[in-house]
Homo-oligomer: A and B are copies of this chain.
Amino acid sequence: MSKRADKSPYHHGNLRESLVIKASEMLHVEGIDGLSMRKLADAVGVSRTALYHHFQDKNALLCAIAEQGFARWHATSERIFNQAKVKDRDKVRQFVHDYINYAADNPQLYELMFGRTLWKNATPTESLKSVAYPSFQHQVTMTKRWQQQGLMPANEDTLRLAQVTWGTLHGIARLLIDGIYADRTHIDEMCECAVNLFSQPNR
């Protein structure tokens, strides 16, 4: 019993948690490249290699941060769909807006959550996978429902449709984040345009 992570710790004072917090902070301001293990250790007040007793890799640290990001978005998403008295069409609309705004508000985090750094370059933690995969599964489930309700074309394969609609959101988010051919002032109009595109009865 009392393996770790609940009792007051040895030297520092719950390092692991402090690391994730501080790292998220640094990620947000400095960006993914500006976040270095050594600077992080410095900021928290421990020595360079102290981190390696709580995270195997820099990769593991990043996975932990991303994981937190997924959890937070998942909560927001749940809140949207659990609203009673809101029509499904409006939920879709709200979902799109919130998704894009979440990305625009936390560009570095979004980049980390869905970028090549974790998913292609490195090996995502099992723990991260177990949080990230259901996130897309949810999109598929929702797409199926929207099809059944006539909100989205019923003749398209659900999986493909989910990939494409989510791909659209992802694409818009990245255009904004990377600052190519779009900026924040376009967000609302772009969202509306996107919703109109894949939500069936046009008006």
Contact = CB atoms under 8 A, between A and B. Distances in A.
A144 interface: no
B197 A182 contact: no
A160 B174 contact: no
Nearest to A200: B202
Contacts of A156: 193, 196
Chain A, interface size category, equals 35 or more
Interface stretch (A21-29, A37-45, A56-64, A109-117): A109-117
A53 interface: no
A197 B198 contact: yes
Interface stretch (A73-81, A87-95, A165-173): A165-173
A175 B167 CA distance: 7
Contact of A167 (B111, B171, B179): B171
A105 interface: no
Interface of A is mostly: helix
A163 B182 contact: yes
Contacts of A198: 197
Contacts of A172: 163-164, 167, 171
Contacts of A173: 171
A153 interface: yes
A4 interface: no
B136 A163 contact: no
A186 B145 CA distance: 22
B114 A178 contact: yes
A181 interface: yes
Could you say which of A33, A157, A168, A202 has the most chain B C-beta atoms within 10 Å of its C-beta?
A168
Nearest to A108: B116
A183 to B, nearest CB: 10
A175 B170 contact: yes
Contacts of A169: 171
**5 residue pairs, one from A and one from B, having the closest CB atoms:** A171-B171, A167-B171, A170-B171, A167-B172, A160-B193
